[in-house]
A and B are shown apart, each in its own frame.
Chain A
Amino acid sequence: KNEVEQSPQNLTAQEGEFITINCSYSVGISALHWLQQHPGGGIVSLFMLSSGKKKHGRLIATINIQEKHSSLHITASHPRDSAVYICAARIQGAQKLVFGQGTRLTINP
């Protein structure tokens, strides 16, 4: 079993829908990252959080430390949100990240 698990692996939705991507981890972490990777390959860091909730535009990330679970939400989804979303956990006491498998999101017009 991977230390970081994401669900779903693939998600297709219509423009405007509310999107939720889930991430569960089984180890102690000091922070959790949400990353976005577009088809060209470049990775953008969306959020780094260690507690509570963060919001940036239409994106919201939450984390529940007790339940070892984080979610990424996209409101009013748009085709340009189509990408692979990756959660990555920074293990306590270390700097390196452990990555989930990624969620491939496709938003149809």
Chain B
Amino acid sequence: GAVVSQHPSWVICKSGTSVKIECRSLDFQATTMFWYRQFPKQSLMLMATSNEGSKATYEQGVEKDKFLINHASLTLSTLTVTSAHPEDSSFYICSAIPGLAPRGEQFFGPGTRLTVL
């Protein structure tokens, strides 16, 4: 089946620093990728939709200048958390839709756990 990877799987950083998270589709091309955030014991919350070659579409309440998304190729999308603060500590998950997926089946990455000290 289709595989989506994320790197790093976990990261600890100091407050004020920026952190980049990569999401890669390993065996398919993904025109659309999604970024989610999940707080403990809560469900996933969509942050933004990333389309290859165009600007990301952010959900209401998500600061686009704080969460920079770049979908520069059909297999890679990156999420950069800029000037991270402890409240940004969360589990970040990406998903991808293959270009030829029947009816838009999504494949999820393993997630990245971010801890901001």
Contacts and interface: CB of A to CB of B under 8 A. Distances in A.
Interface string B51-95: 000000000000000000000000000000000000000010101
B43 A97 contact: no
The A contact surface, by secondary structure, is strand
A12 to B, nearest CB: 16
B106 A45 contact: yes
Interface residues of A, number: 22
B71 to A, nearest CB: 14
The B contact surface, by secondary structure, is strand
B106 A97 contact: yes
A41 B107 contact: no
Given A42-B108, A43-B108, A101 B103 contact: no
Interface residues of B, number: 23
B32 interface: yes
Contacts of A88: 44
Which A-B residue pairs are the 6 nearest by beta carbons? A43-B108, A42-B110, A41-B111, A99-B43, A102-B43, A99-B44
Interface of B: 32, 34, 38, 42-46, 49, 91, 93, 95, 97, 103-111, 113
Given A41-B93, A45-B105, A96-B49, 19 more contacts: A31-B104, A41-B38, A41-B91, A41-B111, A42-B110, A43-B93, A43-B110, A43-B111, A45-B106, A86-B44, A88-B44, A95-B49, A96-B34, A97-B46, A99-B43, A99-B45, A100-B43, A101-B42, A102-B43
